[in-house]
Structure 1
Amino acid sequence: MQGPFNRSGKSKPMGEINVVPFIDVMLVLLVIFMITAPMLTQGVQVDLPQVSSEPIDTQDSDPIIISVDREGGYFITLGEDSTAVSLEQISERVSAILQRRPGTPVMVRGDQGVQYGQIVLLMSTLQRSGVENVGLLSEPPQDG
């Protein structure tokens, strides 16, 4: 009877590799990545309306309105005062206003021709400034 060892003391090299442990490790890693992948998504938190759009009641305080024009310029409006600002200045001014008057609503008004990335960058900046909820302003469609 011949076994894996010869009686002469010389052993033959094994020509097969056991891949079962490798498959087990791969399946465990697959399960781990399937569980953690949905947690890695990034984005700006926006509270989307659950019902049809209605006018916003802002009688308590003037909202902070940040506008983005077609060329990508930023403008901040508080009451009647509107000034052109950079993205860094928006962060400083909004956080200063929110420290003085917490709960002030923040609205974003963007031109329909502006790139989507400009709006996302603005909303991300507002989120870092401490704004919890951002409203998006629009105009109702014109009849005719």
Structure 2
Amino acid sequence: MAMSGGTDDGEPMMEMNTTPLIDVMLVLLIMFIITIPIQTHAVKVDLPQPSNEPQNINVEPDKNKVIVTPDGQITWNSQPINEVQLRQYLDQTVMMNPQPELHFQPDPLAKYNRVDQILAIIKRANVTKLGFVGNEQYRNDF
């Protein structure tokens, strides 16, 4: 670092040397960063508890039908279900041999975002036999 001398007339320098102050502040900052406890983020999730009761799972061995109603409700073989149940049913169908067909029929008035969410659930479940039904009613529209 360059040091500036006073004027040639012999007067003392009027500027304060801030280099030691900055060095002390940097050391204190590093010590403060090191001593901060690591933040642990925890998200509490209520997981379903396993039960010994036989589950009444409505999975057909040949084909199953998922319908999305205009209000966003999901139905599995005409029974209303939620997203967790849908994933459970899909996991069961993937394990079956041969894998049953999954017929997906969104209502024309269903919101696209909701239909997209349900298709994402189906994709994450690795369903290989998926068919869209009900589209034949639109064949003359285009």
TM-score of the superposition, structure 1-length normalised?
A: 0.49
Higher RCO, 1 or 2 (CA under 8 Å, sep at least 6)?
Answer: 1
Give the structure with higher Rg (CA): 2
